[in-house]
Amino acid sequence: MSADRERFQQIREIGPEISESLVVYWSEPHNREVIAQLQESGVQVAPGMATGDRRKSPLAGKTFVFTGGLDHFTRDGAQQAVEAAGARVSSSVSKKTSYLVVGQDPGSKLDQAQTLGVTILTEQEFAALIGEDEKGLN
């Protein structure tokens, strides 16, 4: 809530206009009061990696795409794990895709990834890559 424009702009996909809007939003006492009320009610923000930690992550800047049904992750859970590591999720395969995670009954994304030479991971390989062991799978 106390971050300045420059701090907000360190977050990927936040530029000058959004950072200005965030600074204005957090400068309003009412908005801070709403957050305080939420915290008092027990609402917690999910922990993630600090910006500096994300830059150090070997996955920082990588792009993941998922195809097929996952057994141990929900799509939201997989996306949160990827973003916590400083990477991002895309809905389509392109030459900028770093990894395709393949679940059951993959679709045409698998063929496209093979054509483009994208690294293909099983769900278990994905779990190992993000630091989740078999016991930690959702």
**Mind spelling out the 3-state secondary structure of the chain?**
CCCCHHHHHCCCCCCHHHHHHHHHHHHCHHHHHHHHHHHHCCCCCCCCCCHHHHHHCCCCCCEEEEECECCCCCHHHHHHHHHHCCCEECCCCCCCCCEEEECECCCHHHHHHHHHCCEEEEHHHHHHHCCCCHHHCC
- Ranked by mean pLDDT, the top range of 8-17, 22-31, 39-48, 109-118 is 109-118
Q: Which CATH class is domain 51-136?
A: alpha beta
Domain range annotation of the chain: 5-40, 51-136
Mean pLDDT throughout 105-129?
94
Is the pLDDT at 17 greater than 80? The verdict is yes
Mean pLDDT throughout 31-57?
72
Is the pLDDT at 137 greater than 70? The verdict is no
Mean pLDDT for the chain overall: 85
| Residue 136: per-residue pLDDT | 44
Distance CA 42, CA 112 (A): 45
Is the pLDDT at 85 greater than 90? The verdict is no
Is the pLDDT at 47 greater than 90? The verdict is no
> pLDDT tens, 56-69?
678 888 999 999 99
Mean pLDDT throughout 23-49?
83
Rama region for 92: left / alpha / beta (φ>0; ψ in -120 to 50; rest) = beta
Please answer whether residues 101 and 67 qualify as being in contact, where contact means their C-beta atoms are separated by less than 8 angstroms: yes
User: 0.85 cut: is pTM over it?
Assistant: no
Tokens of 34: 């709403």
Please answer whether residues 49 and 57 qualify as being in contact, where contact means their C-beta atoms are separated by less than 8 angstroms: yes
| Residue 119: per-residue pLDDT | 96
